[in-house]
Amino acid sequence: MHNILARRASLVKASEIREILKVTENSDIISFAGGLPAPELFPVEEMKTVCQAILAEDGMKALQYSTTEGYKPLREMIAGRMRALSIAAQSEDILITTGSQQGLDLSGKVLLDEGDGVICESPTYLAAINAFKVYSPNFIEIAMDEQGMRMDELETALEHNHRIKCIYTIPDFQNPTGRTMSLERRKKLIELANRFAVMVIEDNPYGELRFSGDRLPPVKSFDTEGRVIYQSTFSKVLTPGIRVGWICAAPEIMQKYVVFKQGTDLHTSTFSQMQVNKFVELFDIEEHVSKIRQVYRRRRDCMLEAIRREFPDYVTYTEPEGGLFLWITLPAVINARDVLLSCLQQKVAFVPGGAFFPNGGHENTLRLNFSNMTEARIVEGIGRMAGILKECKNTAAES
């Protein structure tokens, strides 16, 4: 059977970590793995009203096939939200996607030939690596600091690599580090993209979840040449289970996205699209997001305090101003996969950081999610982790 598969099938492997983390589905595990929103904040009651309204007002339409581009009123609403971020968008510039993950697959389809270069932050979003890998690119990782992707390294990479097609970035509360790209670097990024004639994929699922500091304009808001493919989702501000995301891009390239989207799944669930649109019509989404922000801010604070109090000094961590994640760096002698195995015995889970580096290495890092556990469980889980980390260091020192 093996020789019947496409070559790319051997490039993309089932994640060993994913298999290990399947145990986190048990509710007795304190899980800092995954990137799940807090389900207790989902607007379940409001969704009852939303579903009844859709089916009463437009039931046949909600259950029928619809256009690949997406439900027009939803595209108009999203374009309005884009304009509020200083992105000059009309509904025609919006393509609805089946979650923002589909945006990544479509970008791979539209942009990447085998061997093309994709520049990304180091580390970067695990599932973006998997989405792009299907199209066999080379990944060029650019180091980050507290201001996000380093522009000096980006410039050097662009000068030395002549097959670069795009720069993939998550400027706001990046997954996995929680870091945010500074305003100055956003402007520099678009200047470099224009100078070297490459595309930018700006992935912004977390931008609305800012707990402190000032909101920064998206890279796309500085785009004068149609170089930025902006993508986002309702997963983190409303609900992820219904899979509604979008792409905002210039008309010439949008055409290609639409054609590939059609071959990929015809269109995103009509019902899901109408759910999002009707929710925004009937309820106050800003107020809803503000509630999410408050809860996540407390959880982040709680996790950071516990880490400060409990973790050994040689552990460093990021202090994100928003989003769902923070990033831990251990001494180089400690392997986060080993830490995970010990933690799982004490019913605590997280994702080892190695998987977020497309070219490997960095096994002494890990990602913690703070959105999905109560404060009490966060304190308990960080406490258990701290005990294990202290032991790991001792073991490493002895060996």
> Does 256 participate in binding a copy of itself (rule CB under 8 A)?
yes
| Torsion angle, alpha carbons of 318, 322, 326, 327, to 10 | -50
CB-nearer residue toward a copy of itself: 2 or 160: 2
Q: Based on the shown chain and the rule CB under 8 A, indicate whether residue 262 belongs to the binding site for a copy of itself.
A: yes
Contact call for residue 163 and a copy of itself (CB under 8 A): no
**H-state helical runs in the chain:** 8-11, 16-21, 44-63, 72-84, 99-111, 126-133, 151-160, 183-196, 251-265, 270-282, 285-310, 336-345, 375-398
Whole-angstrom distance, CA of residue 394 vs CA of residue 397: 5
Residue among 120, 199, 228, 385 that touches a copy of itself (CB under 8 A): 199
Q: Which of 253, 289, 295, 396 is close enough to bind a copy of itself by CB under 8 A?
A: 253
CA separation for the pair 96, 271 (Å, rounded):
13
Q: Is 275 in the site for a copy of itself (CB under 8 A)?
A: yes
Least Å distance between CB 169 and a copy of itself? 17
Q: Between 38 and 183, whose beta carbon lies closer to a copy of itself?
A: 38
Which position among 17, 20, 23, 127 is part of the footprint of a copy of itself (CB under 8 A)? 127
Q: 167-186: which residues touch a copy of itself (CB under 8 A)? A: none
Question: Does 13 help bind a copy of itself (rule: CB under 8 A)?
Answer: yes
Name the nearest CA neighbour of 369 among 313, 331, 318.
Answer: 318
Q: Which of residues 58-77 bind a copy of itself (CB under 8 A)?
A: 59-66
Alpha-carbon distance of 311 to 384, in angstroms, equals 10
Distant-in-sequence, close-in-space partners of 259: CB < 8 Å, separation ≥ 6? none
96 near a copy of itself, judged by CB under 8 A:
no
Check binding of 282 to a copy of itself (CB under 8 A): no
Q: Closest CB to a copy of itself among 215 and 291?
A: 291
Stretch that binds a copy of itself, among 112-120, 172-180, 313-321, 380-388 (CB under 8 A): 112-120
Spatial CA neighbour of 141 closest among 356, 382, 314, 289: 356
Burial degree of 150 (CB within 10 A; 0-12, 13-18, 19+): middle
Nearest approach, Cβ of 130 to a copy of itself (angstroms)? 4
Counting residues that bind a copy of itself (by CB under 8 A) gives: 80
Distance of CA 329 to the CA centre of its chain: 20
Subset of residues 23 to 42 that bind a copy of itself, contact rule: CB under 8 A? 34, 36-37, 39-40, 42
φ and ψ at 388, to 5 degrees? -65, -40
Q: Please, what is the minimum distance in Å from the beta carbon of residue 201 to a copy of itself?
A: 12
Taking the complex as a whole, how short is the minimal distance between the CB of residue 47 and a copy of itself, in angstroms? 6
Which own/partner contact pairs does 21-27 have at CB distance under 8 Å and 24+ positions apart? 21/349, 21/351, 23/344, 23/349, 24/349
Q: Which is nearer to a copy of itself, 208 or 321 (CB)?
A: 208
Q: Does 295 bind a copy of itself (CB under 8 A)?
A: no
228 vs 362: CA distance, rounded Å: 30
> Least distance in Å: CB of 182 to a copy of itself?
27
**Residues from 211 through 250 that contact a copy of itself (CB under 8 A):** 226, 235, 239-243
Give 74's contacts (C-beta < 8 A, 6+ positions apart).
96, 244, 273, 274, 276, 277
Q: Kindly indicate which of the ranges 76-84, 87-95, 108-116, 313-321 contains the residues binding a copy of itself, using the contact rule CB under 8 A.
A: 108-116
Whichever of 37 and 322 has its CB closer to a copy of itself, that residue is 37
Query: Collapsing DSSP states into helix, strand and coil, what is residue 278?
Result: helix
Q: How far is the CB of 311 from a copy of itself (least distance, A)?
A: 28
Query: Which residue stretch of 46-54, 184-192, 290-298, 310-318 sits at the interface with a copy of itself (rule: CB under 8 A)?
Result: 46-54
CA angle 196-199-205, nearest 5°?
A: 140
397 lies in the site for a copy of itself, by CB under 8 A: no
Q: Contact at 8 Å (CB) between 385 and 345?
A: no
For the CB of residue 138, give the shortest distance to a copy of itself in the complex, in Å: 14
Decide if residue 272 touches a copy of itself (CB under 8 A): yes
Q: Name the segment binding a copy of itself (CB under 8 A); options: 172-180, 271-279, 282-290, 316-324.
A: 271-279
Q: What is the DSSP letter of 322?
A: B
Q: CA–CA separation, 122 vs 166, rounded Å?
A: 15
219, 189 in Cβ contact below 8 A?
yes
